Amino acid sequence: MFDDWMDKYNLLIDLGKDLPVIDPKYKVKDFLIEGCQSKVWLRPSYDGNLITFTADSDAIITRGIVALLIKVLSNRTPEEILSADLYFIDKIGLRQNLSPTRSNGLLSMVRQMKLYAMAFNAKSK
Amino acid sequence: MKDIAEIRADFPILNRKVYGKPLVYFDNGATTQKPNCVLDAVNEVYESYNGNIHRGVHFLSDMSSEAYETAREKVRSFVNAGKKEEIVFTSGTTGSINGIAFSFGERYIKPGDEIILSCLEHHANIVPWQMMCERKGAVLRVIPINDNGEIILEEYYKLLSSKTRLVSVAQASNALGTLLPVTEIIDAAHSANIPVLIDGAQGIQHGIVDLKEMDCDFYVFSGHKIYGPNGIGVLYGKENWLSELPPFQGGGDMVDKVTFEKTTYNELPFKFEAGTMNYPGAIGLARALDYVLDIGKEYIASMEKDLLIYATSRLSALKDLILYGKSDRKISTISFLIKDIHQYDTGMILDKMGIAVRTGTHCAQPVMARYGIDGTVRASLCFYNTKEEIDALCDGIEKVKSMFA
């Protein structure tokens, strides 16, 4: 889909501008997912049916990827989040950002989103 | 003397492209690339004379053992150590420091004793001492730096006391590139009979290392940072210290007599070389040192000085570029940030242009904290880099700025 890496990163940068931003008062340790390269804050909200996420990152490319993940995983039921396999990441060639070797908090973020889903799922039963 | 094109031709990986663009390899502080002769030397071991060292009576074992001991002598000569018994092969800088911290702790450290480090240290020269201090009830004292990233010697002198048992500092900062004032540090410590370990991980690549002149008590470095293979390093220790210290690993080859009642240890340096050592790595390292000598240590130093001057002047002239570590005495390593742009963003875009830099804390979180930042972009250059590559980095930085404007 993307041959030109510049187009890809420009899209990510733009996507980052649409990120539902976490309230600055929640940029605290409890919502921080620390990675070696950039920080990610993630906060869930649950209305009994759907989980929504707000987030932020101190790096713009990471913000873009966070925004992409939230577009896919926010406003979903816990079951939908738990069963999501995020194939699109490979399709658009972003796998390099989510490999375990690149410790930038993103892998932890996906894991955390699924953990929240598991917790809300258990709670609602 | 070889020109830069001939030098670069010696390093096969430098010709490759990344994402269709020529590789600009500016991460030599993390690891260096290898010349053909080193690759050939390692292959030759496995292809023609591989046999376990010090153990056999057969031809292959003899040849490997001889090559390994020849390698030890080459290292001794390169660093100008007194005796080959003072050259111990290890797995690398981290292995060496962990070993000395452990053994020194066992032999000499009591509760309340102090170890002096600097704010500039890599985690490899912090954590092993922390672990030892925790075991032994000792305390770490840290030499502060000024805003230029230089050691404040007056503060260091104040830290030296009757409780100090050892000083351990880097020859050069991997994060900022600052050269530490090791002569002054060693002189002051020795006048109080305190031994000094110098972490030469960065220094060995850039500095002209003369251990007789430096007169440090321990010196450590890694093969992979001086164009040699991975998994091999050196621990130099003055004979009087190494004779007194207990081994840090037990096993084969470091023993004299073994019974279940008591085991006695082998003589130096074998006392500290347990198990099957990385002899292909040692042989590769020796070949790398020969290569450096063939090119010429002074020639390398002058090339790197030119690169540092050029890179510093070009980067300083760029708008919105913040340089960290502005000492006059530096190795060819430059740490920077583009104003208001996260280092990760910068590094990712530079990567797509074929430019390899390191981003983050560089395993030196304390020095980053000193500047109140959580990381930088680091370009660590060596003698096979070029001014054209520095120009490419500057163009890359402008590209990054335009993308995040």
- Distance (Å, whole) CA A61 – CA A9: 7
What is the separation, in whole angstroms, between the first and last Cα of chain A? Answer: 41
Residue A115 pLDDT exceeds 70? yes
Q: What is the mean pLDDT of residues B279-295?
A: 97
Tell me what ipTM this predicted complex has: 0.85
Smallest Cβ–Cβ distance between A59 and the set B19, B345, B352 belongs to: B345
Enter the tokens of residue B230. 């991975």
Enter the tokens of residue B262. 């008591």
Between residues A51 and B56, the one the model is more confident about: A51
Please enumerate in sequence order all residues whose Cβ is within 8 A of that of B61, keeping only pairs 6 or more positions apart, or say none: B51, B52, B53, B55
Assess A39–B contact: CB distance below 8 Å, yes or no.
yes
Smallest Cβ–Cβ distance between B404 and the set A6, A60, A62 belongs to: A60
User: Which of B17, B337, B341, B344 to substitute to test the interface with A, most A CBs within 10 Å?
Assistant: B344
Total residues belonging to chain B: 405
- Distance (Å, whole) CA B23 – CA B17: 5
Query: What would the pLDDT profile of B150-209 be if each residue is shown by its tens digit?
Result: 999 999 999 999 999 999 999 999 999 999 999 999 999 999 999 999 999 999 998 789
- Structural domains in chain A (count): 1
Nearest to A49 by CA among A85, A86, A79: A79
Residue A2 pLDDT exceeds 80? no
Please enumerate in sequence order all residues whose Cβ is within 8 A of that of A92, keeping only pairs 6 or more positions apart, or say none: A1, A2, A8
Q: Where are the domains of chain B?
A: 4-30+296-403, 39-293
The correct CATH number of B4-30+296-403 out of 3.30.980.10, 3.30.1330.60, 3.90.1150.10, 1.10.1040.10 is 3.90.1150.10
CATH number of B39-293: 3.40.640.10
Can you give the pTM of this predicted structure? 0.93
Q: What is the mean pLDDT of residues B282-295?
A: 97
The phi, psi pair for A33, rounded to 5°, reads -110, 105
Domain that holds residue A31: 5-124
Nearest CA distance, B360 vs chain A (angstrom): 6
Nearest CA in chain B to A17: B404
Smallest Cβ–Cβ distance between B403 and the set A13, A38, A58 belongs to: A13
- Distance (Å, whole) CA B36 – CA B12: 7
Which chain B residues contact residue A13 at CB under 8 A?
403-404
Nearest CA in chain B to A13: B404
SS3 B250: coil
User: Which of B19, B337, B338, B345 to substitute to test the interface with A, most A CBs within 10 Å?
Assistant: B345
Smallest Cβ–Cβ distance between A5 and the set B19, B361, B404 belongs to: B19
Q: Is B394 a catalytic residue?
A: no
CB atoms within 10 A of CB B315: 18
Residue A109 belongs to domain with CATH number: 3.90.1010.10
Nearest CA distance, A81 vs chain B (angstrom): 28
- Average model confidence (pLDDT) for chain B? 96
Residue B378: DSSP 8-state: E
Q: Are the Cβ atoms of A13 and B360 closer than 8 angstroms?
A: no
Query: What would the pLDDT profile of B194-232 be if each residue is shown by its tens digit?
Result: 999 999 999 999 878 999 999 999 999 999 999 999 999
What pLDDT, on the 0 to 100 scale, is given for residue A36? 60
For chain B, what percent of residues have pLDDT higher than 90?
Answer: 93
Q: What is the mean pLDDT of residues B386-403?
A: 97
* A:B CB pairs within 8 Å: 39
The phi, psi pair for B147, rounded to 5°, reads -65, -20
Q: What is the mean pLDDT of residues A43-59?
A: 94
CB atoms within 10 A of CB B128: 21
